[in-house]
């Protein structure tokens, strides 16, 4: 259960990071509200997962999921360019996250 909550929290990290970029300094109410809800839910899920998972592993998995999804979304929407090196490094992050899960 903790791993599922951690993964969902990592997804919410990507949501709040993306929303933060759209707030324009918290001057836009809808992205600002999405940011606030997503960051609270993401942190709450991370805290819940850390009750049974090692802090370092949980945090690294959470950050990895959030980072990969944030960049993937930016690439998919055209706000960030796609290149072979970027894709390679995203795959390496995913491999690291999987490795942490398997070695736990």
pLDDT class for 104, splitting at 50, 70, 90? Answer: confident
- The pLDDT value recorded for residue 102 is 84
Tokens of 20: 């933060």
What confidence tens digit (pLDDT) does each residue in 51-77 have? 999 999 999 999 999 999 999 999 999
Per-residue pLDDT, averaged over 11-22, amounts to: 97
The pTM score is 0.90
3-state secondary structure 1-46: CHHHHHHHHHHHHHHHHHHHHHCCCCCCHHHHHHHHHHHHHHHHHH
Tokens of 56: 């370092």
- The pLDDT value recorded for residue 101 is 80
Q: Answer for the pair 68, 93: CB distance below 8 angstroms, yes or no.
A: yes
Euclidean distance between CA atoms 45 and 6, whole angstroms: 6
């Amino acid at each position: 259960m903790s791993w599922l909550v951690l993964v969902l929290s990592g997804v919410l990290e990507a949501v709040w990071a993306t929303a933060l970029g759209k707030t324009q300094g918290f001057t836009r109410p809808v992205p600002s509200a999405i940011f606030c809800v997503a960051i609270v839910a993401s942190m709450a899920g991370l805290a819940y997962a850390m009750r049974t998972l090692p802090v370092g592993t949980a945090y690294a998995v959470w950050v990895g999921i959030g980072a990969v999804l944030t960049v993937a979304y930016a690439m998919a929407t055209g706000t960030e360019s796609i290149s072979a090196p970027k894709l390679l490094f995203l795959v390496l992050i995913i491999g690291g996250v999987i490795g942490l899960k398997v070695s736990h």
